[in-house]
Amino acid sequence: MADSNTRILRRSRRTIFSKFLRARWRFGGKTVALTDADGRELTYGQLVQTSFALGRVIAKHTKRGEKVGVLLPTGAGAVVAFFSILASTRVPAMLNFTAGPRNLKRACEAAEITKIITAHQFIEVANLERLEESLKKHAELLYVEDLREEVGLVAKLTALIGPYLPWAVRFPARPSDPGVILFTSGTEGDPKGVVLTHSNVLANVEQINEHVWLEPSDKIFNPLPTFHCYGLTAGTLWPILTGRALVLHPSPLQTKIIPQRIKETKSTILLATDTFLMHYVRASDDHSLKSLRLAVCGAERVRDETRAVVEERFGCEVLEGYGVTEAAPVIAANQPGDIRAGTVGRVVPSVEVRLDPVEGLDEGGRLFVRGPNIMAGYLSPDQPGVIVPPEEGWYDTGDVVTIDDEGYMAIRGRVKRFAKIGGEMISLTVVENCAGAIWPGVLHAAITLPDPRKGEQIVLVTESDEVDRTRLRTWMQSHGVQELAVPAKIIKVDQVAVLGTGKTDYNSVSKLAKAHLEELAATAEATSEAPAGPPAEPAPEEAPTANPAETVEEPDISEDDTRESA
């Protein structure tokens, strides 16, 4: 472990771009660095030269040290833009194009972004014209196609000289300088900018490399967005900087195309989330994913059903990891050949952990982490450009975890993902897991809403057509789950809202549930006040119509009431 820590610290004392140049010399300029969605291959030499040339053009439009937004899908364009900004000694800020105009505006305010690199083709294909017009009110949009037209003689000479004499064509940055800015989802308020230094990112690349050993012949398939830290660090920078073959895909939502691309490229490692992985499995035949050796999942819990189906059909291990943007992002991960279901594996090297007690919980604690990969600090719209560091280097993840005697970590839920009912702390994640065990293959989201008697009530929002509260209650009781965890209400929806990263959008789910229950209450009140009239004639029989949201509930029965009835 001491040797690992020493290697990680030593190898992270440089900048991301210098590490990129080192990879070009280490693995060879003619070695393919990545394969894009259209099958086009880019070598290390081409990537480095393009980055120097485009970086020279970007320098004409920006100031040294300026934060430059990147609004592009996963692909060669995003990778080139990222390294080009670093080549010009600017700071790339990865923008979430699914976040909506308001959140993007607030993100730009927090990081003082006045220039955004995007592409005409991307705006057109993704139908982002309205977002484009909104962003133009707050920042200047620089289009990749137009920047390429500006590449002149000086930029071309920079591309030729740069790989050999980088100090002659660019200002050096320091490892402790900001290397990239990412943003929180904004589901719990305004998005915050997460400032990761060059050392933070490189430390996590080295931590992953020390923790997860791959075969030399492995090929990594990454469809995850580069505006998400998992897709950027683990899915893009780790392969490129360590010489792993990389295949990029612009969207994880193309569930029918992705299995075919995995088959065509003979990829052996897939980066995904549990939700996306199950979509790919359903959309593929028994041969599409046969080349996979590992599916690495993060961002959400891996369900037992997912692991069983993938291993049975494709002989592929599902490796679950855990991380947060503020940790660049990986904190813990299972390892190939040592996968403990129900855990996220051991903590990666060089990370310290601390568990603080949580009132009402007897097992586990609130996880704090410290290490070389922990962010420099937050940026917020209230204090634009001001980096607020974590206190004494400890970052509060807000997650409740347990760590066993062998060091394996299990996530019990977020502190904010607990309901306090009758003085007891109830994990909403447990409620979702119970629903998933009975009705697998669809999404379930448990949230809390105010309750006049108990303070809070649990509401389950689900895509399942077979929801039955009595069945859920019976299953939970038979598996030792306390009565207070049984949802007070169940709402059926066509689709549970998810973020661009594949995580459940609990903010949208809560708004939908609240609006639906308010509508039901208003209808009930109107019905109770309506004057009595003649009995209505029976309606003619016709096929039932599926409502976008239907509520299933039953009278609340306490344990005392149950005994009395018996």
Distance of CA 389 to the CA centre of its chain: 22
- 342 to 272, 412, 433: CA distances (angstroms): 17, 10, 11
Q: What is the pLDDT of residue 504?
A: 80
Helix (H) or strand (E) holding 527: helix 506-529
Q: What is the pLDDT of residue 241?
A: 96
Which tokens hold the place of 49?
């030269």
Which tokens hold the place of 53?
């040339």
Q: What is the pLDDT of residue 546?
A: 37
Is residue 428 a contact partner of residue 446, using CB atoms and an 8 Å limit? yes
Q: What is the pLDDT of residue 394?
A: 96
Higher pLDDT, 282 or 167: 282
Tell me the HSE value of 190 on the side-chain side, using a 13 A CA sphere. Answer: 17
Domain 2-412 architecture: 3-Layer(aba) Sandwich (3.40)
Domains 2-412 and 422-525+547-565 share a fold: no
Q: Taking 70 as the threshold, does the pLDDT of residue 460 lie above it?
A: yes
Domain spans, the chain: 2-412, 422-525+547-565
- 487 to 235, 334, 506: CA distances (angstroms): 37, 32, 16
Query: Which amino acid type is present at position 411?
Result: I
Q: For 304-342, what is each residue's pLDDT tens digit?
A: 888 888 888 888 999 999 999 999 999 999 988 888 888
Q: How many CB atoms lie under 10 A from the CB of residue 299?
A: 23
Q: Taking 90 as the threshold, does the pLDDT of residue 470 lie above it?
A: no
Q: For 389-438, what is each residue's pLDDT tens digit?
A: 999 999 999 888 999 999 999 988 777 677 766 556 677 878 888 888 88
**Residue 538 pLDDT class (50, 70, 90 cuts):** very low
Residue 334 burial (C-beta neighbours within 10 Å; 0-12, 13-18, 19+): buried
Q: What is the pLDDT of residue 426?
A: 75
Query: Which amino acid type is present at position 293?
Result: R
Is residue 27 a contact partner of residue 241, using CB atoms and an 8 Å limit? no
DSSP string, 154-216: HHHHHHHHTTT-HHHHS----TTSEEEEEE---TTSS--EEEEEHHHHHHHHHHHHHHS---T
Q: Which residues pair with 420 in a beta bridge?
A: 425
Mean pLDDT of 3-31: 92
Q: What is the pLDDT of residue 560?
A: 34
Alpha helix stretches (DSSP H) within 212-336: 229, 238-242, 257-265, 274-283, 304-314
Higher pLDDT, 451 or 411: 411
Query: Which amino acid type is present at position 459?
Result: V
Q: What is the pLDDT of residue 544?
A: 36
Q: What is the pLDDT of residue 222?
A: 96
How far apart, in whole angstroms, are the C-alpha atoms of residue 194 and residue 180? 8
Higher pLDDT, 376 or 416: 376
How far apart, in whole angstroms, are the C-alpha atoms of residue 151 and residue 154? 8
Q: Is 455 left (phi over 0), alpha (psi -120 to 50) or beta?
A: left
Higher pLDDT, 106 or 358: 106
Q: For 507-532, what is each residue's pLDDT tens digit?
A: 788 888 888 877 777 777 777 665 55
Mean of pLDDT over the chain: 86
Q: Taking 90 as the threshold, does the pLDDT of residue 485 lie above it?
A: no
Query: Which amino acid type is present at position 298?
Result: G
Residue 360 burial (C-beta neighbours within 10 Å; 0-12, 13-18, 19+): exposed
**Residue 540 pLDDT class (50, 70, 90 cuts):** very low
- Closest among 24, 11, 15 to 162, alpha carbons compared: 24
Q: How does strand 245-248 pair with strand 219-222?
A: parallel
**Residue 191 pLDDT class (50, 70, 90 cuts):** confident
Which tokens hold the place of 345?
């594996």
**Residue 65 pLDDT class (50, 70, 90 cuts):** very high
What order of strands is seen across the sheet that includes strand 330-333? Answer: 41-43, 32-35, 245-248, 219-222, 269-272, 294-297, 317-323, 330-333, 346-347
Higher pLDDT, 302 or 107: 107
Q: What is the pLDDT of residue 466?
A: 83
Spatial CB neighbours of 56, under 8 Å, sequence gap ≥ 6:
87, 88, 151, 154, 155, 158, 159, 169
Q: Taking 90 as the threshold, does the pLDDT of residue 113 lie above it?
A: yes
Torsion sign across C-alpha atoms 117, 120, 125, 128: positive
Q: Which DSSP letter does residue 520 get?
A: H
3-state secondary structure of 266: coil
- In the chain, the percentage of residues whose pLDDT exceeds 90 is 52
Q: Which residues pair with 377 in a beta bridge?
A: 195
What is the SS3 string spanning 62-131?
A: CCCCCEEEECCCCCHHHHHHHHHHHHCCCEEEECCCCCCHHHHHHHHHHHCCCEEEECHHHHHHCCCHHH
Looking at domain 422-525+547-565, its CATH class is alpha beta
How far apart, in whole angstroms, are the C-alpha atoms of residue 142 and residue 114? 10
**Residue 441 pLDDT class (50, 70, 90 cuts):** confident
**Residue 566 pLDDT class (50, 70, 90 cuts):** very low
Q: What is the pLDDT of residue 564?
A: 32
Spatial CB neighbours of 6, under 8 Å, sequence gap ≥ 6:
none
Helix (H) or strand (E) holding 153: helix 153-161
Mean pLDDT of 188-206: 90
How far apart, in whole angstroms, are the C-alpha atoms of residue 493 and residue 515? 13
Q: For 357-372, what is each residue's pLDDT tens digit?
A: 887 677 888 999 999 9
Q: For 90-100, what is each residue's pLDDT tens digit?
A: 999 999 998 88
**Residue 126 pLDDT class (50, 70, 90 cuts):** very high
How far apart, in whole angstroms, are the C-alpha atoms of residue 302 and residue 306? 7
Q: For 152-182, what is each residue's pLDDT tens digit?
A: 898 889 888 878 888 777 778 999 999 999 9
Tell me the HSE value of 264 on the side-chain side, using a 13 A CA sphere. Answer: 13
**Residue 291 pLDDT class (50, 70, 90 cuts):** very high
**Residue 350 pLDDT class (50, 70, 90 cuts):** very high
